[in-house]
Chain A
């Protein structure tokens, strides 16, 4: 469905390398995630694939169409939700939706099925201007507008950034339903916990792809044994573990520390070290890493 080959994009006369020789493919019907912090190159890739930005070099196709020569065909078959809210603030919910339907030569009624589940949640406020909506409602309206011409591919650039946990979960539920209707979805996010909700992901940093695979395979390729350390005074234990010579890496992770050890050191060695420092009530156990652990490890290796 999407094929990206050796795309390079620089800004400021080449001084800023936003996308650095990136290649990947997205299959039809797949929910594909670009995961990475600000500055990873996610938005540049979105803008190149949605034909809003020209790459310096490399090629890309969407639904078989070239992003440079056949941009018109691409624009007809994709929906794009940019990172910044970009609907008309002084039009109402209904007017915005109608506008986007008209631009694509269709009507709200014709494709209502696709947006119904989302639209019913904002329909009670359809006469309210978009500029007066809450973040969660803006997000739903933007998604409706991106869907109203029944696109085959949906590009969502950081749809959940700055959104609270409840709205984030709702949003991913909506994506799951859209995927079931056969849509190909490319979504970007800085939240590592959302990665596991994608079919495949590309972990990105500084214009590079660090790893690309299913979340399960990325986790399976984590070579080290990972331990979780829990203690009453986490910060003191963290400081102590960082100065332990057998520590390879140790960082805070929610309510515990995540720890990897050098060579063939074991939990017993750690326990001895910790006990010698008079820490009590410290619990250490082996755990399965998650995507954030993998990302941190990849960042350190690069």
Chain B
């Protein structure tokens, strides 16, 4: 086992407000790790620290072996990121988007060409290469955005609510891509509001008021909280939250 995300007592304060408190956990190579929590629990703040976008107030963390205080640029080169809100440029074509992202991450022109062919082939989107991304159905956009986030072969990919608003069939096709990537050794760190998707993760953490309240496999969590589904586990934990309305 090789831990690619490692945090110890990771804490972030904004003035007197403790957004994330004492986060200690590890995520292994090739693991699909579900990062859950109610609105306002501190997920986004934690993710920003892990991506090297926000300095912690205290505690330690390494991402792909790089330190979150001193090696943020190396972290950015070794991770991929996609969210429902920001993914691709709508007024660039499919091929242009791939070229743009791969170029930003420093791939050579030859590699970009190979990568483009490979991605289009894997997604069955050869016919759409010259279409504007804005004209694609949402589900296709999301699948493309995920593949683009993997174009520079990152060790870890962070997915922030990747399947919001997507139909149930496309949502499952999206998860096929996640499994495929994890099987190839990519670590997947994912947030979602769909609790059935929590069941697809190897392990899940649930944040409540800035603290990781629970962390285990869905099966063990359901046993521990005597719940039938992950939705019930989540509900039992998250309804105790006091600061959700602040």
Contacts and interface: CB of A to CB of B under 8 A. Distances in A.
A203 B218 CA distance: 30
Nearest to B235: A165
Contacts, number: 92
Contact of A136 (B39, B137, B139, B230): B39
Given A134-B39, A252-B200, A253-B196, A296 B245 contact: no
A39 B231 contact: no
B218 A163 contact: no
A298 B139 CA distance: 17
Interface residues of A, number: 33
B170 A37 contact: yes
B245 A255 contact: no
A14 B234 CA distance: 44
B164 to A, nearest CB: 6
B39 A135 contact: yes
A1 interface: no
A162 B193 contact: yes
Nearest to A234: B200
Interface centre among B39, B137, B179, B246 (most CB of A within 10 A): B39
B46 to A, nearest CB: 16
A164 B168 contact: no
A136 B195 contact: no
A165 B169 contact: no
B168 A254 contact: no
A134 B168 contact: no
B201 to A, nearest CB: 11
B138 to A, nearest CB: 5
A79 interface: no
Contacts of A165: 38, 193, 195, 231, 234-235, 238
B245 A136 contact: yes
A161 interface: yes
26 contacts: A37-B139, A37-B166, A39-B137, A39-B138, A134-B39, A134-B40, A134-B244, A135-B40, A162-B161, A162-B193, A163-B39, A164-B234, A165-B193, A165-B195, A167-B244, A190-B164, A191-B194, A192-B168, A235-B179, A235-B183, A251-B169, A254-B196, A254-B199, A254-B229, A255-B229, A295-B167
Given A134-B39, A134-B245, 9 more contacts: A38-B165, A39-B138, A162-B193, A166-B234, A167-B39, A190-B164, A191-B194, A254-B195, A254-B229
